[in-house]
Amino acid sequence: MNILITGSAGFIGSHLVERFLNEGHTVVGVDNYISGQKRNTEMFLGHPNFRFIRADVSSGIPYEGQPLDWVLHFASPASPPHYQQFPIETLMVGAQGTHHALELAHRHGARFMLASTSEVYGDPLVHPQPESYWGHVNPNGPRSCYDEAKRYAEALTMTYHRHKGVDTRIIRIFNTYGPRMRADDGRVVTNFVNQALEGKPLTVYGGQQTRSFQYVDDLVEGIVRLMGVTYHQPVNLGNPDEYTILDFARIIRDRTNPALEITFQSMPQDDPQQRRPDITVARNLLSWTPAVPLQEGLQRMVAASLHPTPPL
């Protein structure tokens, strides 16, 4: 297949590029490096089936070439520090970027996948969160630039499916970790792993709020399986194993350096109290469940931090 991926230099985007190239597909990556990393592009530049376009998809996608089979829209800052640093850009890539990606898919008769997020559920009042839950979101708080951008992107994707016949998919990604996350990502897994490797105290914001963590290979497998079926409603992809942030800090500490101190700071505004996916749809539709246990995934992530992946 000929697959275009926006956000190809990002954490998840780069793993998708690698998976598809290894399967023999042709991949066109698009990124502007607001939150992506150039090294995630440089890994693939020598591959004969990879082509890179540096562009801001909010302004357009300057693709010319063979007809596309898929457009995967993964472009967007995704961690609170990044989308709060670039709130307007985050809103625009969710709105105009999604529009341009959908138009590209429509012109090529390609199928389309939107990377949405568990953040569409906000600070949920339903637990765990099924796809049928409409969420409990602050529409104008400090996280709203990301939450509302993704909610709008979902609405636009479904509208293109209903009114223009685009063959669409929507995934709602829950907390995901693994190699190639930015050191300054700011999300809890990266913070804890980097602090532990540097021998620094682990900083816990709040501590009793819960999260569920899936390894990136599990997410990529779910994405590939969803591409192989026809289903247009959103699908949760996440690990239903739930931990408090404090328990998670203790796991990191115990696996790296049991002598590390844990320090506490106040919880950020609008930080969800609990987050856990209901993966019934993915289980029934895709025969998918996460396969990588947390301890194994963390070991892989630490090893990759010490020994980065060589170019393909």
Euclidean distance between CA atoms 129 and 151, whole angstroms: 15
Cβ within 8 Å of residue 45, ≥6 positions away = 52, 311
Euclidean distance between CA atoms 54 and 116, whole angstroms: 22
Q: Which of 146, 177, 215, 243 is catalytic?
A: 146
Euclidean distance between CA atoms 44 and 7, whole angstroms: 14
Distances in Å between the Cα of 181 and the Cα atoms of 9, 229, 287 are 10, 29, 28
146 is catalytic: yes
Q: In this structure, is the dihedral angle defined by the CA atoms of residues 23, 293, 72 and 18, taken in order, positive or negative?
A: negative
Euclidean distance between CA atoms 177 and 219, whole angstroms: 10
Distances in Å between the Cα of 180 and the Cα atoms of 26, 277, 306 are 22, 24, 11
Distances in Å between the Cα of 131 and the Cα atoms of 114, 234, 242, 272 are 15, 6, 18, 17
Q: Which amino acid is at 122?
A: G
Residues with catalytic roles: 146
